[in-house]
Amino acid sequence: MSVTESRPDDAAVPEPLLRIEALGKRFGGLVALDNVTIRLQPGEFRAVIGPNGAGKSTLFNTLTGLHRPDLGRVFLSGTEVTGRTPHALARLGVGRTFQITSVFSALTSLENVQIALLAHSGRSWNVLAWARSMQVTQARALLDLVGLRDRESQLAGTLAHGDQKRLELAIALATEPKLLLLDEPTAGMAARERLESIALVHRIAREIGLTVIFTEHDMAVVFAVASAITVLHQGRVLAEGLPEEVRANPVVHDVYLGETPSDYAAEQERA
């Protein structure tokens, strides 16, 4: 019998939705990702935490095809997708939002979502003319989902920061992702708004069966929703586990969590 024919262990373990094997990425002499291995099961709501410069955005940019990894492999539901382009990955069900808000400021909320729907449907030529006349029902349904239906005619650039983030979420959902990567989705929000915003994503993910991996600095947000936590430090996975395991890990405390409770308390006082 050959090795590949009988693999009882593999049969017992479900194939992860996302399997990252020993990923490595350098920028010149700087090692931004070093031997990063992560497995994400369907339905997870995984937080990736770590200090600034830990490699979180680099990981997300590599997973969405903006960077090519130097080492390692990435599998989506068992299919290797290492080095695929952002467009190809989007087609395979990988959606994302960016750390910096990226909506078309001079278009309305509705138009922003219509364009995303059209780009996904493949009619990318003269996209604005098409967008204005089409996909209205679907675009409104997405705005409804994120709680922006009453702002559909407002120019995206004039939306409050939190509402722009919701709009980005609707735009990301327009590509019908199976896996959604959110890089600091609550950046720039006040403490209460951060919790509301992540709770919204969490509810939607439950409703439509979406697997989510997100980065977040606010530990209150992380511990409110994360199904598991991966801690990155200097490009490496320092720790991984259930929220309570990571919270209790002394190594994590030393490099990262130790400073957080006081920061959070100070912020609460200011708010």
Q: How far is the CB of 52 from ligand ADP (least distance, A)?
A: 4
Tally of CB atoms within 10 A around 155: 16
State which residue, 33 or 117, has the beta carbon closest to Mg ion: 33
Question: Is residue 229 within the footprint of ligand ADP (CB under 6 A)?
Answer: no
Question: Is residue 126 within the footprint of ligand ADP (CB under 6 A)?
Answer: no
Q: How far is the CB of 3 from ligand ADP (least distance, A)?
A: 37
Beta pairing, strands 228-233 & 45-49: parallel
Which member of 17, 18, 32, 239 binds ligand ADP (CB under 6 A)? 32
The DSSP annotation for 10-64 comes to HHHSPPPSEEEEEEEEEETTEEEEEEEEEEE-TT-EEEEE-STTSSHHHHHHHHT
Question: Is residue 103 within the footprint of ligand ADP (CB under 6 A)?
Answer: no
Question: Is residue 108 within the footprint of ligand ADP (CB under 6 A)?
Answer: no
CA distances from 75 to 18, 200, 258 (A): 6, 28, 34
Q: How far is the CB of 233 from ligand ADP (least distance, A)?
A: 9
Alpha helices by DSSP H, 40-190? 56-63, 86-91, 109-121, 127-133, 136-145, 161-173
State which residue, 45 or 98, has the beta carbon closest to ligand ADP: 98
Question: Is residue 96 within the footprint of ligand ADP (CB under 6 A)?
Answer: no
Question: Is residue 58 within the footprint of Mg ion (CB under 5 A)?
Answer: no
Rounded to an integer, what distance in angstroms lies between the CA atom of residue 32 and that of residue 51? 13
Question: Is residue 68 within the footprint of ligand ADP (CB under 6 A)?
Answer: no
Half-sphere exposure of 77 (CA within 13 A, CB side): 9
Q: How far is the CB of 130 from ligand ADP (least distance, A)?
A: 34
Q: Which stretch binds Mg ion (CB under 5 A): 11-19, 24-32, 53-61, 238-246?
A: 53-61
Sign of the C-alpha dihedral, residues 135, 136, 140, 141?
Answer: negative
Q: Collapsing DSSP states into helix, strand and coil, what is residue 230?
A: strand
State which residue, 45 or 60, has the beta carbon closest to ligand ADP: 60
Question: Is residue 38 within the footprint of ligand ADP (CB under 6 A)?
Answer: no
Which member of 2, 4, 52, 262 binds ligand ADP (CB under 6 A)? 52
Question: Is residue 57 within the footprint of Mg ion (CB under 5 A)?
Answer: yes
Q: Do the Cβ atoms of 81 and 92 come closer than 8 Å?
A: yes
Question: Is residue 58 within the footprint of ligand ADP (CB under 6 A)?
Answer: yes
- Tokens in use for 195? 């919790």
Contact residues: Mg ion, CB under 5 A: 56-57
Contact residues: ligand ADP, CB under 6 A: 27, 30, 32, 50, 52-58
